[in-house]
Amino acid sequence: MPRIGIPELIVILVIALVVFGPGKLPTVGKSIGEAINEFKKASTEITKGSTTEGNATVAKAEEKVEEKVEEKKAE
């Protein structure tokens, strides 16, 4: 997969400047930055949430195993 170099970035910035104009370009950049931050936060929360749910599931399974072991010991 080809990487984006300095010349490509300059072309992209010039096109963005022509399309949005110098007045709106900072606003558009800020909006894109905020969107990227929100996406990162959401993906981090999903990852942490699935880990927490997985830990809870493991804890419940361990409790069930311990209960069955206690039942077997009682017999």
pLDDT of amino acid 33: 92
Could you list the pLDDT tens digit for every one of the 75 residues in the chain? 678 899 999 999 899 889 988 898 889 889 999 999 999 998 888 877 766 677 777 778 888 888 887 777 776
Structure tokens at 7: 């010349």
Q: Are 28 and 16 in contact (CB under 8 A)?
A: yes
pLDDT of amino acid 3: 86
pLDDT of amino acid 15: 93
What are the residue boundaries of the structural domains of the chain, listed by start? Answer: 1-75
- Pairwise CA distance, residues 64 & 12, whole Å: 58
pLDDT of amino acid 4: 85
Q: pTM of the prediction?
A: 0.51
CA atoms within 13 A on the CB side of 9: 4
Structure tokens at 75: 């017999």
Q: Are 20 and 28 in contact (CB under 8 A)?
A: yes
